[in-house]
């Protein structure tokens, strides 16, 4: 179950960020912001180290005492960041991967929506619903 999901544009500003519970929103904003550095590091390291550079999924970015942060970068340099509760140890790697795939699919749909201008914040309700379903899987 994800606690916070964020979509960051290639210029590193958030296109969409949502977290539950909504009280500590600022803390999640901060967490996502700091994880961007780790994402950039991983992408640039890929170019030189020849380690798994073909994959879009970045894996675990860094763990904190309460949360784990996962990253995924699309070919259009849009980043998806997911913050997951550490206590939820049942969540495996391939489940996270499939959640990112669903995110990517929904993001592609948003992109192809004629009412959406690339670079704007995402207001699509369909996208919202998909994110809600991911955040409330285990309740």
Q: Which residues bind another protein (CB under 8 A)?
A: 10, 46-47, 53-56, 73-77, 104-105, 107-108, 111-112, 118
* Phi, psi of 71, rounded to the nearest 5 degrees: -130, 160
- Shortest separation between residue 45's beta carbon and another protein, angstroms: 13
When the beta carbons of 27 and 102 are compared against another protein, the nearer one is 102
Length of the chain: 139
When the beta carbons of 21 and 47 are compared against another protein, the nearer one is 47
* Phi, psi of 33, rounded to the nearest 5 degrees: -60, -45
When the beta carbons of 54 and 87 are compared against another protein, the nearer one is 54
Q: Using DSSP, state whether 92 is helix, strand or coil.
A: coil
- Shortest separation between residue 54's beta carbon and another protein, angstroms: 3
When the beta carbons of 67 and 70 are compared against another protein, the nearer one is 70
Are 74 and 104 in contact by the 8 Å Cβ rule? The answer is yes
- Shortest separation between residue 49's beta carbon and another protein, angstroms: 13
Integer angstrom CA distances of residue 129 from 24, 28, 85, 102, 134: 21, 20, 20, 12, 9
- Shortest separation between residue 7's beta carbon and another protein, angstroms: 13
């Amino acid at each position: 179950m994800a606690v916070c999901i964020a979509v960051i544009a290639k210029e590193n500003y958030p296109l969409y960020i949502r977290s539950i519970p909504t009280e500590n929103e600022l803390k999640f904003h901060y967490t996502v912001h700091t994880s961007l550095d780790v994402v950039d590091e991983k992408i640039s390291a890929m170019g030189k180290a020849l380690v798994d550079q073909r994959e879009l999924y970045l894996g675990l970015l860094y763990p904190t005492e309460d949360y784990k942060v996962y990253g995924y970068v699309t070919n259009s340099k849009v980043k998806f960041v997911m913050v997951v509760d550490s206590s939820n140890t049942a969540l495996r790697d391939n489940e996270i991967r499939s959640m990112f795939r669903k995110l990517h699919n929904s993001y592609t749909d948003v992109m192809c929506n004629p009412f959406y201008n690339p670079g704007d914040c995402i207001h699509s309700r369909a996208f919202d619903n998909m994110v809600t379903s991911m955040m409330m899987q285990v309740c």
